[in-house]
Amino acid sequence: MSILLGAIGIANIGEWIYMIALHLLIFQETGSVLAITAVYMLRPAAALLTNSWSGSLIDRLNQRNVMISLDITRAILIACIPFALFSGHLLIVYAIVFVIHMAQAIFHPASMVYMTGLVPAGHRKRFNAIRSLLQSGGFLLGPAVAGLLFLIGTPVFSIYVNAICLLISALLTMCLPKLSKTNDGQKSFSLSMLKEDARLVLRFSLTSRHVMAVYLLFSAAMTVLPTAIDSLEAAFAKEVLMLTDTEYGLLVSMAGAGIIAGASLNSAIVERLPVFIMLAIGSLFVTFGYLIYAFSSTLTAAAIGFFVLAFFLAFANTGFMTFYQTNIPVEVMGRVASFYALCEAVLTIGMTGIFGVLAHVLSIRTSVILGSMCMLLVCLFLCFVIFRPLTVNKIVRRT
């Protein structure tokens, strides 16, 4: 398990280095903010294109080999970006980045299925807590390492460092054991297979209503709505709170401090916390953090809100991941994850657009407050579902 955690940590730090270097390179070459905005749109577009069929492949292939292949593919593609950019072919750069995001969209559910099969049920809470800590470390270490690399080299050098990180991740993954697979991988990929898998996901959803209710409510409260609110973050900080660039940087730093503090405490006490407590209380306090931020009028109040939401995010995510791994069978996990990730991507794009329009028609603060209140309502409903005796008994019995 330590090898897997090492691969995850290295790849996560490398991804942050890549993102920062890529945005800087594109801005240096084009001088256009719109060109960078287009890069942000490629991720959800790749998810929409990929998630409709990737789960059918993931559940039928050897996930370890899929992860290795995707790491190597991403490393090669990332190494090609500087050549395409300096040759003046920006569309080729976008095409390469789009394929990289497609690979990432496949990698996430594949790694989730593999981790679930590799890590024993009794160790999943601890594993997920450490994984959350590594991801939090990447959030801070990635930009810091990128800044250091910019001092001793160039953004192009940073791009190559990310490619090397992915190759190291692939080598570490090669050291992990292969998990046994069924003969499903012999079935040919076809439209009829996709239809069959869609019916399978629907049957599972109908027979596991309480599981999917928690899944969907958590996704709405912790992914869809926060993404829509976060899209207004810079405008809220600049136009509502009237923060300077330095103050805005401090605000973001408070979120980073909250992430590290919460993930550290979570990894230390995770074995003492029931899954349903982490899932419900963590989500609720993340929502409270957003509410504090939404109603803030000073840097101090906004910073408190950022710290609170970031601090409890690790608890919510660890509880959700453990719940997810425990209640969704590993043999259908890829298909379930991909199908609902597709729904999540559609909702995220839609809600982001809606809140953007609301910010224009009403005001930025009103839009952020409405988003935070919607989060609270969804989160309260999530807590109601989680604390129902039926759901609690199932979570406790399985974990």
**How sure is the predictor about 376, in pLDDT bands with cuts at 50, 70 and 90?**
very high
Residue 198: CA count within 13 A, CB half-sphere: 11
Residue 372 lies in a domain: yes
Show which of 146, 176, 206 is a domain's final residue. Answer: 176
Residue 181 lies in a domain: no
- 354 CB-contact burial (10 Å; exposed 0-12 / middle 13-18 / buried 19+): middle
Show which of 142, 176, 210 is a domain's final residue. Answer: 176
The mean pLDDT of 119-146, rounded to a whole number, is 72
Same-domain status, 324 and 213:
yes
Query: What DSSP letter does each residue of 31-70 carry, written as one string?
Result: --HHHHHHHHHHHHHHHHHHTTTHHHHHTTS-HHHHHHHH
Same-domain status, 321 and 255:
yes
Same-domain status, 243 and 299:
yes
283: pLDDT strictly greater than 90: yes
Residue 190 lies in a domain: no
Residue 67 lies in a domain: yes
Residue 58 lies in a domain: yes
| Residue with more model confidence, 80 or 7 | 80
355 is in which domain, residue-wise? 197-398
% of the chain exceeding 90 in pLDDT: 16
Same-domain status, 206 and 117:
no
CATH of the domain at 91: 1.20.1250.20
Residue 296 lies in a domain: yes
Same-domain status, 308 and 376:
yes
Residue that the structure tokens 């405490």 belong to: 265
Q: How far apart are the C-alpha atoms of 381 and 197, rounded to whole Å? A: 30
Show which of 176, 211, 237 is a domain's final residue. Answer: 176
Same-domain status, 266 and 325:
yes
Same-domain status, 102 and 239:
no
Q: What token pair was written down for 256?
A: 């980073």
The confidence score (pLDDT) of residue 130 equals 81
Query: What DSSP letter does each residue of 264-319 carry, written as one string?
Result: HHHHHHGGGS-HHHHHHHHHHHHHHHHHHHHT--SHHHHHHHHHHHHHHHHHHHHH
370: pLDDT strictly greater than 90: yes
Find out whether 336 and 199 touch, Cβ atoms under 8 Å. no
**How sure is the predictor about 291, in pLDDT bands with cuts at 50, 70 and 90?**
very high
**How sure is the predictor about 185, in pLDDT bands with cuts at 50, 70 and 90?**
very low
Residue 183 lies in a domain: no
Residue 187 lies in a domain: no
Residue pLDDT, tens place only, 215-264? 999 999 988 898 888 878 777 887 888 887 677 777 777 877 888 888 88
Number of domains in the chain: 2
Question: CA 359 → CA 290, 294, 306, distances in Å?
Answer: 17, 13, 20
Same-domain status, 169 and 291:
no
Same-domain status, 89 and 206:
no
Residue pLDDT, tens place only, 138-166? 656 666 666 677 677 777 888 888 888 88
Same-domain status, 308 and 385:
yes
Same-domain status, 95 and 126:
yes
Question: CA 43 → CA 32, 47, 99, distances in Å?
Answer: 19, 6, 10
184: pLDDT strictly greater than 80: no
Query: What DSSP letter does each residue of 182-229 carry, written as one string?
Result: -GGGGSPP-HHHHHHHHHHHHHHHHHTHHHHHHHHHHHIIIIIHHHHH
Same-domain status, 69 and 206:
no
